């Protein structure tokens, strides 16, 4: 399972990297723009990510905008809905409107921060990822 972690906070990013690395290679990006670049690179190399964990509030490009662009890139590469990466939004906010918006931009699940291992594993299982 190839994972991209998109998170501007160093501590939270490290935590996710550590939790996910036993299931396969992980890469990280610190904002939405870097995430879109990483996804584009991976698609061009035909090594797409299976899972993208993305924070919603980030500098430069936020998670929601990045989500849209990532899905657009995938469509361009012939990966229509369902065939792309599983995208899990991470958020510290319990604000439902953010979560609903993210689902509208086609994310597949969400995790409340601070992310815990049990919740992460449940989420990945639910998405049918190989863990």
Partner 1 sequence: LAISKQLTELMGGQIGAESEIGVGSTFWFTIRCIKSTIQQTRNSAGSQLQLENSSTPFSLDSLRELCIASGVRALVAEDNITNQKVALAMLRKLGLRVDAVANGREALEALRSIPYDLVIMDVQMPEVDGFEATRIVRSVRGAVLNPSIPIFAMTAHAMQGDREKCLAAGMNDFIAKPVTFQALAQLLNRWLERMDFSTRSCSTRPFCATGKLEPEAPVFALAELLERLMGDHPLAQTVVNAFLLDVPNQLRELETLIEGHDPVALGRLAHRLRGAAASAGATALAQRAEELEHAAANSEPAAIRIRLRELDEHFEAFKCELLNSSFLKQKGPEK
Residue 118 in contact with partner 1, rule: CB under 8 A: yes
Which candidate, 64, 110, 108, 105, places its Cα nearest to that of 83? 108
User: Where does the chain show beta strands of DSSP type E?
Assistant: 3-6, 26-29, 51-55, 86-91, 109-112
Site for partner 1 in 19-48 (CB under 8 A): 19
- Count the site residues for partner 1 by CB under 8 A: 21
Name which of 86 and 91 has its Cβ closer to partner 1.
Answer: 91
The 47-86 contact track toward partner 1, x by CB under 8 A, reads --------x-xxx---------------------------
Structural contact between residues 126 and 109, judged by C-beta atoms closer than 8 angstroms: yes
Q: Provide the sign of the torsion angle of the four alpha carbons 71, 77, 80, 81, taken in this order.
A: negative
Decide whether 78 or 118 has the Cβ nearer to partner 1: 118
Comparing CB distances to partner 1, the nearer of 80 and 93 is 93
Phi-psi region of 106 (alpha: psi -120 to 50; beta: other; left: phi over 0): left
Chain residues in the site for partner 1 (CB under 8 A): 7-12, 14-15, 18-19, 55, 57-59, 92, 113-118
């Amino acid at each position: 399972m190839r994972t991209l972690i998109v998170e501007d906070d160093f501590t939270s990013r490290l935590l996710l990297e550590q939790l996910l690395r036993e299931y396969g290679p992980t890469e990280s990006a610190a904002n939405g723009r870097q995430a879109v670049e990483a996804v584009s690179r991976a698609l061009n190399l035909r090594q797409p990510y299976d899972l993208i964990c993305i924070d919603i509030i980030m500098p430069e490009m936020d998670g929601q905008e990045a989500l849209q662009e990532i899905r657009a890139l995938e469509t361009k590469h012939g990966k229509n809905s369902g065939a792309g990466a599983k995208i899990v939004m991470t958020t510290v906010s319990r604000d439902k409107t953010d979560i609903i918006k993210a689902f509208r931009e086609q994310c597949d699940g969400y995790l409340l921060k601070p992310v815990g291992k049990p919740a992460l594993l449940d989420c990945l299982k639910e998405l049918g990822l190989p863990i």
